[in-house]
Amino acid sequence: MTELSGRAANRADIIARAEAEMTRMGVDQAFIDRLVDTFYGRIQQHPNLGPVFEARLSGRWPEHMVKMKSFWSSIAFKTGAYGGKPVQAHHGVEGMAEELFGQWLHLFALTLRDIGASPAAGDWFINSAERIARSLVLSLFYNPALDDPNRQPQPPAN
């Protein structure tokens, strides 16, 4: 077996295992579509999140929905089909604030519950969303220089 065909077989095995895991949890493409449609419908109505998303996506909601369905499908089924750049997409968004990510996660968890996700699917999706949110928060708001002990305020000399 060549290295290339070995990688293809390994990739196919990863995708097959992910599909089987998602099936056991009751997740298929229709579930992901319902999750994304319901969640972003709620985002649009949210008093804090809605204006931030609308300012960025006005007139482009249909494209965003397709992109988000591809994103979540790619993560769930490990297909690698999503080729976007989430950090760059969220960088410089007017009104973007670190505390909005907690509201986003809360709304996401409520949506999973309300659409009837199985406990396993709910846990899997919220854990994935929390990892994504942490990554975005670190990328967008964390300044490692602030952790540098040499840059910390020094107590006044007596």
**pTM of the predicted structure, to 2 decimals:** 0.80
In the chain, the amino acid numbered 25 is M
CB atoms within 10 A of CB 126: 16
Mean pLDDT for all residues in the chain = 86
% residues pLDDT > 70 (the chain):
76
- Dihedral (CA of 83, 87, 93, 96) sign: positive
**pLDDT tens, position by position, 50-86:** 999 999 899 999 999 999 999 999 999 998 776 666 6
Q: Which of 10-24, 54-68, 70-84, 100-114 has the lowest mean pLDDT?
A: 70-84
pLDDT at 155: 63
**What is the DSSP code (8-state) at residue 116?**
T
Q: Which residue from 49, 35, 41 is spatially nearest to 109, judged by alpha carbons?
A: 35
Instruction: Using the predicted structure, report yes or no on whether residue 1 has a pLDDT greater than 60.
Output: no
pLDDT at 10: 81
pLDDT at 70: 93
Q: Which residue from 67, 81, 11 is spatially nearest to 36, judged by alpha carbons?
A: 67
